[in-house]
């Protein structure tokens, strides 16, 4: 009887240890961003090109952010959903492209699939030495048209 109770206890402890290593259900899975290359652009003084390889795991999404750069996106695999503030939400598949301007706020960036990964390349043309991304955790406050800001 003691052996049975001890075995049961060990099985429970092993199950708990294995479960604790997994991310809790409902926890967003972050994209993996890998810099591929960076190069000064001598024909455009003060600018540099930065190429990134992005992998969205199934169900992955980005927080609202801005690049302060011209961003050219090319989808390699899977399907992604993109939208900039004031633009339409678009779903892109392999071989399709997307553009973000330096003043655009990227309000939607996610994997369209909950079961398959998506992979894409981003080429940024940006000010030399400036970080490639400025993340926001919540949308910026907007003042309705015709209203005055209070100082």
Bridge pairing between strands 134-135 and 97-100: unpaired
The label of the residue with tokens 């890998």 reads 34
What is the pLDDT confidence band of residue 125, given thresholds at 50, 70 and 90?
very high
The SS3 call for residue 102 is: coil
Superfamily of domain 32-130 in the CATH hierarchy: Jelly Rolls (2.60.120.10)
Q: Which two tokens stand for residue 51?
A: 């190429």
Q: What is the DSSP string of 11-57?
A: HHHHHHHHHHTSPPTTPPPPPEEEEEEEEE-TTSTTEEEEEEEEEE-
Q: Token digits for 71?
A: 């961003």
Residue 45's pLDDT band (boundaries 50, 70, 90)?
very high
Q: What is the pLDDT of residues 130-148, one digit of tens each?
A: 777 765 544 443 333 443 4
Domains in the chain: boundaries: 32-130
- Specify the pTM: 0.71
If you average pLDDT over every residue of the chain, what do you get?
78
- Helix H or strand E segment including 6: helix 2-20
């Amino acid at each position: 009887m003691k052996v049975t109770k001890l075995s049961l206890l060990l099985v429970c402890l092993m199950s708990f240890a294995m479960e604790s290593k997994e991310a809790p259900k409902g926890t967003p899975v972050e994209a993996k961003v890998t810099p591929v290359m960076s190069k000064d652009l001598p024909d455009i003084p003060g600018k540099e090109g930065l190429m990134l390889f992005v992998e969205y795991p199934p169900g992955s999404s980005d927080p609202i952010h801005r690049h302060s750069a011209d961003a050219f996106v090319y989808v390699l695999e899977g399907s992604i959903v993109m939208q900039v503030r004031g633009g339409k939400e678009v779903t892109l598949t392999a071989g399709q492209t997307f553009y973000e301007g330096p003043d655009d706020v990227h309000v939607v960036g996610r994997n369209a699939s909950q079961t398959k990964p998506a992979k894409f390349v981003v080429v940024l043309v940006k000010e030399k030495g400036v970080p490639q991304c400025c993340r926001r955790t919540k949308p910026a406050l907007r003042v309705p048209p015709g209203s005055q800001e209070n100082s």
